[in-house]
Amino acid sequence: MKRTADPRTNGLLAMLPEDVYARWRPDLEYVAMPLGHVVSESGCGLQHVFFPTTSIVSLLGVTEDGAAAEIAVVGHEGVVGISLFMGGGTTPSRAVVQSAGQGFRFHGDLLMAEFNRGGPAMHLLLRYTQALITQMAQTAVCNRHHRLDQQLCRWLLLSLDRLPGLNLVMTQELIANMLGVRREGVTEAALKLQRQGLIRYARGHIEVLDREGLESLSCECYGVVKREYDRLLPNLVAT
């Protein structure tokens, strides 16, 4: 995998003022983020935050018996570990790499020192947190009220927004785990999208053939989330 050495391929880092970024840059540590890697575990204290560049991280709600479902996704637009600077220290969710790639990590003590300055970095992180909360809330609504094929469209579109290109490497089992549904349901929904000419799915690879078609078939939840990100982070840099 080609190494992406520029931290500013992460949108939040790209939006930092130059003087803030100059302070951060020496301590931004490149990290590989392989598929399935647990970035943070439920209930455990956080020492670092992570800024993905070419990877996607799923935030999972986890039940006592080990079942899990995705509540949000974070890619090159965001940061993993908001509980650290929001004062919670720990979170009941688990963060797992959903799509392999790269990123940068930053020590929590350094982030908190910057956050406590009360300057532009704090305001940027708070705006991002509001956008992430919107995604979590809309995911809950979508999973309760909308058809599985609509949920799959929303999930594919959110994932595409956080990756370069129109290709995803996702098994049906992984998608089912993310959506908290049976694998058979994902198979049926994926075949429906394929018959409509929206995607091509084979051996864990999903190629989006008609993004506009996916957007038209998706419920309103994708649009709600995207508009909030665009409103709160209007200068977010896409990769």
The C-alpha atoms of residue 186 and residue 178 are separated, in whole angstroms, by 11
Lowest mean pLDDT among 86-95, 143-152, 162-171, 200-209: 162-171
Long-range contacts of 195-204 (CB under 8 A, 24+ apart): 198/153, 199/156, 204/169, 204/170, 204/171, 204/172
pTM: 0.90
pLDDT at 4: 55
Q: Which residue has the higher pLDDT, 67 or 131?
A: 131
Q: Specify the residue for token string 């305001």.
A: 123
Residue in 82, 179, 72 with CA at minimum distance from that of residue 129: 82
Grade residue 3 by pLDDT with cuts at 50, 70 and 90. Answer: low
Would the CA dihedral through 161, 162, 165, 170 be positive or negative? negative
pLDDT at residue number 239: 39
Taking the CA atoms of residue 53, residue 165, residue 213 and residue 134 in that order, the dihedral angle to the nearest 10 degrees is 0
Position 141, amino acid: V
Average pLDDT over residues 205-226: 92
**pLDDT score at 82:** 93
Q: For the domain made up of 147-218, give the CATH fold.
A: Arc Repressor Mutant, subunit A (1.10.10)
Average pLDDT, the chain: 89
Query: Looking at the domain 7-142, which fold is it?
Result: Jelly Rolls (2.60.120)
Alpha-carbon distances, residue 109 vs 24, 34, 104 (angstroms): 12, 25, 15
* In the predicted structure, residue 58 carries a pLDDT above the cut 70: yes
Task: Give tens-digit pLDDT for 153-192.
Answer: 998 999 999 887 777 877 777 777 777 778 788 788 888 8
Residue with tokens 């038209």: 216
List the chain domain ranges. 7-142, 147-218
Cα–Cα distance, 90 to 180 (Å, whole number): 23
- Find the mean pLDDT for residues 212-233: 94
